[in-house]
Structure 1
Amino acid sequence: MKISIVTAVWNRARTIGEALESVQRQSHRDIEHVIQDGGSTDGTLQVIERLADERTCVVSERDSGIYDAINTGIARATGDVIGLMHSDDIFASDNVLSDVAVALADREVDGVYGDLQYVSATDPDRVIRYWRSGSYGPSALKRGWMPPHPTLYLRREVFERWGAYDTSFRISADYDAMLRWLNNGVRLAYVPRVLVKMRVGGQSNASLGSILRKSLEDYCAIRCNKVGGLGTLALKNFSKIEQFI
C-alpha cells in the first residue's frame, strides 16, 4: 500500500526539517512525501534540499493559500492513500503509517483517523491539549464532532469521487470537506492512540478576527452540509474544553 503524505509549506525553515525527518523515520516504507512550497524565501527550500531522500517530491510555486496548495499536492500524489503532514507537525511515533496501512487493509474502510496532541511550539514533549477523538457514530456530526484533521488518511478514491478542499473557505475548508465526505457515506476506522503532535499557534487561533472568521466559516460549513445549526456550532466549540483537562 503506497501512502502519500502531502505537506503544504511557506517560510517554515525552523520546523520543516523535523516534519521531513518524522516522515522518513516511518517503519512503513512504501511512501512518497509530496511537498508543495508556496515560494519560500527564508531558507525552507534549502532545508528540504538538504534532508530530501528519493521519496521526497518538491514543487515550489505561488499559490492562493494553504488549501490551494494542499489541493495541488493531492493532485500530484500517486499513492493509494493520502494524508497530510503540516509543516509544523510531527508523527507521534515511527509506526503511525504502519498502523494506517493495517487499518486500511480492510477494504470496507475508506479512511482512518486517531488522536491528536497539541504541543508547545518550542517543546513537542510538552502537551497543551489532548484531542481524544473517539469512535464515529451516525449522530456525531450534529453534536459538532469531527476527526482531528492532521490524523486523517483517506483512500484516493474519496478525493476523486467527493472532491478535495473548497478554497472559498480560508480557515474551515478542512471541516467543510470532512462533513461532505462523512455525509456521503465515507467509512472511517478509529485508531485509539495519538498519531500526530501538532504545535500550537495555528492560523485559526492567530487573532480575535481569525477566531470570529473561523466560527462564521464553521457555521457556513454546518449549514451547507445540512448537519445542524447554531447548536452544532456551540457543541463543537464547547467540546474542546475537555481537551485541556
Structure 2
Amino acid sequence: MALNCRGVNCARRFSEINPIQKDAMFSIITPVLNGMPYLPQAVRSVAEASEGVVVQHIIMDGGSTDGTLRWLEDNQDYGYEIVSGKDSSQSEALIKGFERAHGRYLAWLNADDLLEPDALAKVHRAFSTSDAWVAVSGAALVINGENEIIGSTKALPNGELSSLLGHLQNIPQPSTFFRRDIYNLVAGINLNLNYAMDVDLWLQLAKHGPIHVMKNEILSRVRIHDGAKTVNNQDATAREDLMVRLKHGMSLTSKNSLHLSKRGFIYPCLRPFQKLAKRALAKTPLKHNGK
C-alpha cells in the first residue's frame, strides 16, 4: 500500500511510530525527490552511524513518485521522521528540515550519499575537545552508481575563512557537521541558491569561528552518477560557486576566482566553437605529401 499523505499529516503519521528525538545529539536532514534506488543505502548508513549517539533523521520528500514513499512506509523501523510535500527546491527542503531539528549538531545527507559507520562517533569526540569550533569536517570517498570507490576528496589546509575562500576544493558537504547554536546566528541556507548553498553556509559559519578539518578521517561517501544535479550542471555550479565566494570576500583576481570564471563562463562560451571546429575537421579530407 502506497503512502497517501502530505506535509504535516504525513509527519504526524510517522511520528506515531518514531517519536521526535528532542534529546538528539545530531539532526541529519535528507532532502529527496525520487530517491530510488540509492535512498535505502543512505538511510541504512545513518542508522549504522547512530550507534552510541542519539540521532534525529528527518527525510524531507518533495513529492516522490518512484517508490520512495512506499519504501519509507515499509521501513519505519529505521527511526526517521518524514515530511512529504511539494517544495520549490532542495534549498527550501533543507530550510524546512533545519527548522524541525532539535540536535546539538546539524548536517545533511543527500539521498545518494552515505555516512561512514563511525562518522558520528568521531565527530562527537572532536566537538567535545573544543568549544571554539563552529563545525567539524572530514574527508570523503567518491563512489559511482555501483558503490565502487573511484576517488577521494583533497583535504583543505584548515577551516579558516581565508582557506575556504582560496582553496579550489570545497570541504565535502556530507562530511561536514555544524553547531545548531551557530547556525541560528547566521542567515542559514540561501533559498536562492541551487548548487553552492553548502559553500555559502560554510563561509557564513567560518565568520563566527574556525571549522575543524580532520584531514585523515573519512566520514562519508559522495556518489557521482549520471542523475546527480551537480554532474549535469557543472557550468552553473561553477558560476554560482564564484558568485558566493565573491560575496564573502574572495578577490576577483585570485587564482580560485580565475579558475571558476573559466569553468563557469569562458569554457561554456567556447564549447560551441569547439564543436563546430571538430565537425569541420571531420568533413575535411586529409592531404598526404606527394598526392
**Length-normalised TM-score, structure 2:** 0.74
The 8 Å contact of residues 146 and 178 in structure 1, kept in 2 or not, is answered as: no
Summarize the Cα distance change of 1:144–1:83 in structure 2 as closer, same or farther, 3 Å threshold: same
Q: The residue matched to 2:184 in structure 1 has which SS?
A: helix
Q: Where do 5+ consecutive residues of structure 1 fail to align?
A: 239-245
Question: Closer, same or farther in 2 for the Cα pair 1:114/1:234, shift >3 Å?
Answer: farther
The structure-2 alpha-carbon separation of the partners of 1:158 and 1:150, relative to structure 1 and needing over 3 Å to count, comes to same
Q: Distance in 2 between matches of 1:12 and 1:121?
A: 13
Superposed CA deviations along residues 167-223 of structure 1, whole A, max 9, x for unmatched, are 2122112112222222x13322222221111110321121xxx22211211111121
Matches within 5 A, 1:145-164: 145-164=169-188
| Structure 1 residues 1-245: aligned runs within 5 Å | 2-26=25-49, 27-53=51-77, 55-92=79-116, 94-105=117-128, 106-122=130-146, 124=147, 126-136=148-158, 138=160, 139-140=162-163, 141-182=165-206, 184-191=207-214, 192-201=216-225, 202-206=228-232, 210-229=233-252, 231-234=255-258
Q: Is the 8 A contact 2:139 2:218 kept in 1?
A: yes
SS at match of 1:53: helix
Equivalent-residue separation in structure 1 for 2:159 and 2:137 (angstroms): 14
State the match for 1:243 in structure 2.
Answer: none
Report the AA paired with residue 76 of structure 1: R
Mapped partners of 2:251, 2:193: distance in 1:
18
Measure the CA separation in 1 of the matches of 2:222 and 2:259.
23
Compute the RMSD of aligned alpha carbons.
2.0
String of CA shifts for 1:52-108, please: whole Å, max 9, x gaps. 23731110011011111111111111111111111001122x211000110111222
| 1:70 aligned partner, one-letter code | L
SS for the counterpart of 2:201 is helix
Q: Report the AA paired with residue 155 of structure 1.
A: R
- Structure 1 residue 13: Cα displacement: 2.2
Task: Mark the runs of 5 or more structure 2 residues left unpaired by the alignment.
Answer: 1-23, 263-291
Paired amino acid for 1:133: A
Q: Which has the higher contact order (CA 8 A, sep 6+)?
A: 1
> Identity, % of aligned pairs?
23
What is the CA–CA distance in structure 1 between the aligned matches of 2:156 and 2:196, rounded to whole Å? 21
Residues 142 and 132 from structure 1, CA distance in 2 versus in 1: closer, same or farther, beyond 3 angstroms? closer
2:159/2:212 contact within 8 Å kept = no
Rg larger in structure = 2
SS at match of 1:22: helix
Letter in 2 for 1:45: L
TM-score, scaled relative to structure 1 = 0.87
SS of the aligned residue for 1:222 comes to helix
Partner amino acid, structure 2, of 1:78: H
